[in-house]
């Protein structure tokens, strides 16, 4: 089973080399598809070092389009049986891939969400981010009739034909509520599994803000009720 790992990247000069190295060390048959979303720091120069690495496909956006748009670009290049979404900021650990893949590989699941709230080790950080995640997950669950613990997790795996056939539209961080709503509407089998989470502070480069939280509410309503 070939695993396609899609990695959206934007201004991750401090971490991009390390996360690529961690992904490449994982003991699975894989292809790594990196989409640089018009980084303006030194990220692209670092990516050049991996340009000819076997199993690594680097795509450069000519303007900043957002995480969701980067994922759609990556999906057009996927040739594997399963797709994993891997952020480039070291918050999610590639060593947890087996946890994401097991329910798909043994035929139980069409999609697997790596939950930060099911008991795995995690860095202690922001209380209000925790509350925000819980509120967004609750709202999503109410409208989708699911019982997820972590809808907003950035660590998800899908059967390739499932995610490629969804007709995704979100450009920025709306990807998470959109893909969740579409999975629920089509009655795909979703599993959750505990993962480790090494959250980072804003000083360390965290990008998501309260504005993205408000936008997520709009996306949840839109993709569950209107789209």
Other Cβ atoms within 10 Å of 159 Cβ, number = 18
Tell me what the mean pLDDT of segment 86-99 comes to: 94
The C-alpha atoms of residue 163 and residue 168 are separated, in whole angstroms, by 8
At 183, phi and psi to the nearest 5? -60, -45
Task: State whether residue 60 is helix, strand or coil.
Answer: strand
pLDDT category of residue 128 using cuts at 50, 70 and 90: confident
CATH number for 3-226: choose from 3.90.550.10, 3.40.50.10490, 3.20.20.70, 3.40.50.2300: 3.90.550.10
For the chain, the structural domain boundaries read 3-226
pLDDT category of residue 102 using cuts at 50, 70 and 90: very high
Q: Collect all residues with Cβ–Cβ distance below 8 Å to 83 and sequence separation of at least 6.
A: 3, 4, 5, 6, 75, 157, 158, 159, 160, 163, 164
User: Per-residue pLDDT tens for 174-223?
Assistant: 999 999 999 999 999 999 999 998 876 656 566 677 787 888 899 999 99
178: its two tokens: 């959109």
* pLDDT score at 202: 59
User: Per-residue pLDDT tens for 130-139?
Assistant: 888 899 999 9
Tell me what the mean pLDDT of segment 154-181 comes to: 94
Q: Which residues pair with 193 in a beta bridge?
A: 114
pTM score of the predicted model? 0.91
Q: Which of 173, 117, 199 is nearest to 150 (CA)?
A: 117
């Amino acid at each position: 089973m070939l695993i396609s790992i899609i990695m959206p990247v934007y201004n991750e000069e401090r971490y991009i080399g390390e996360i690529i190295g961690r992904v490449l060390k994982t003991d699975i048959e894989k292809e790594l598809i990196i989409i640089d979303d018009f980084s303006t720091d030194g990220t692209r120069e670092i990516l050049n070092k991996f340009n000819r690495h076997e199993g690594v496909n680097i795509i450069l956006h000519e303007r900043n389009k957002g995480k969701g748009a980067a994922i759609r670009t990556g999906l057009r290049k996927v040739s594997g049986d399963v797709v994993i979404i891997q952020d480039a900021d070291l918050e999610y650990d590639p060593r947890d891939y087996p946890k994401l893949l097991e329910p798909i590989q043994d035929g139980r699941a069409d999609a697997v969400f790596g939950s930060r709230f099911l008991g795995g080790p995690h860095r202690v950080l922001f209380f209000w981010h925790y509350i925000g995640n819980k509120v967004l997950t609750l709202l999503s669950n109410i409208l989708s009739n699911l019982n997820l613990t972590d809808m907003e997790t950035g660590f998800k795996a899908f059967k390739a034909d499932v995610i490629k056939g969804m007709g995704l539209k979100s450009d920025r961080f709306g990807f998470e509520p959109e893909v969740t709503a579409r999975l629920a509407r089509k009655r795909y089998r979703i599993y959750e599994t505990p993962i480790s989470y090494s959250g980072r502070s804003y000083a360390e480069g965290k990008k998501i803000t309260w504005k993205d939280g408000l936008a997520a509410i709009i996306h949840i309503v839109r993709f569950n009720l209107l789209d």
